[in-house]
């Protein structure tokens, strides 16, 4: 199996990625390569942030690697929080603060369509290749479920039965999620050279 670094410190994402790529890739974490610094995400698009992270690992640690960045794009808010999804309620906020702010901004709003969009940047040698995964859904009016992470408890994908991501098993979420889809495109490319 090919060794490849996934440039993230997020244990949830790492677990999801290892589940999705089990038997295909040996995914190393930043901790596995002794990288403990915080890589600044300074771009104004999710694609830009993914590229910054993938390039950083290749240039400082020498490993082929991929990095992802995800945004939750809410139509009634002009695509916000988008690239600012992690820090929507402020620099030091936690997911619960972000959810509270989003629910507040959508109070009384009946148009609640949204999508999670993941960009993955793959850096092999000198080449960077981008992959995208999208899942469309609705922002619920209150939290449902306790699984998952981030905005999962208020996002119900259109392809499911009304449940939020936080009410689904990991397998159910991975099968339709933004990250699952972007990762499927990445794996297809790594195995067959097609993006």
Count Cα atoms within 13 angstroms, Cβ side, for 132: 10
Q: Are 183 and 20 in contact (CB under 8 A)?
A: yes
Residue 69 catalytic? yes
By the rule CB under 6 A, 10 interacts with ligand IMP? yes
Work out whether 153 is an interface residue with ligand IMP (CB under 6 A): no
Q: Does residue 90 sit in helix, strand or coil?
A: coil
Q: How many residues lie near ligand IMP (CB under 6 A)?
A: 17
Residues 158 and 154: their CA atoms lie apart, in Å, by 13
Judging by DSSP bridges, how do beta strands 25-28 and 2-6 pair with one another? parallel
Cis previous bond, 81, omega within 30: yes
Looking at the Cβ atoms of 50 and 191, the one nearer to ligand IMP is 50
Query: 17: cis peptide before it, omega within 30°?
Result: no
Binding mask 40-69 for ligand IMP (x = CB under 6 A): ----------------------------xx
Tell the smallest beta-carbon distance from residue 174 to ligand IMP (Å): 9
Residue from 74, 86, 89, 122 in contact with ligand IMP (CB under 6 A): 86
Shortest approach of ligand IMP to residue 108 CB, angstroms?
24
Q: Count CA atoms within 13 Å of residue 1 on its CB side.
A: 13
Q: Which stretch binds ligand IMP (CB under 6 A): 21-29, 138-146, 150-158, 182-190?
A: 150-158
User: Residue 91 in contact with residue 19, Cβ under 8 Å?
Assistant: no
Looking at the Cβ atoms of 33 and 93, the one nearer to ligand IMP is 93
Contacts with ligand IMP, residue ranges (CB under 6 A): 10, 68-70, 72, 85-86, 95, 98, 148-152, 165, 177, 179
């Amino acid at each position: 199996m090919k060794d490849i670094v996934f440039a993230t410190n997020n244990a949830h994402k790492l677990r999801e990625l290892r589940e999705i790529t089990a038997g295909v890739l040996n995914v190393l974490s930043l901790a596995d390569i002794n990288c403990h610094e915080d890589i600044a995400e300074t771009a104004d698009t999710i694609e830009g942030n993914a590229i910054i992270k993938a390039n950083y690992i290749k240039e400082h640690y020498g490993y082929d690697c991929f990095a992802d960045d995800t945004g939750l794009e809410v139509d009634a808010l002009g695509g916000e929080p988008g690239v600012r999804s992690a820090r929507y309620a402020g620099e030091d906020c936690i997911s619960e603060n972000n959810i509270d702010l989003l629910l507040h901004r959508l109070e009384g709003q009946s148009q609640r369509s949204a999508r999670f969009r993941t960009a993955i940047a793959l850096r092999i040698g000198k080449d960077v290749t981008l992959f995208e995964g999208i899942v469309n859904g609705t922002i619920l009016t209150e939290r449902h479920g306790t699984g998952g992470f981030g905005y999962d408890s208020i996002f119900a994908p259109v392809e499911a039965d009304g449940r939020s991501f936080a009410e689904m098993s990991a397998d159910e979420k991975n099968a339709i999620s933004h990250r699952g889809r972007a990762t499927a495109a990445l794996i297809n490319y790594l195995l067959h050279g097609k993006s």
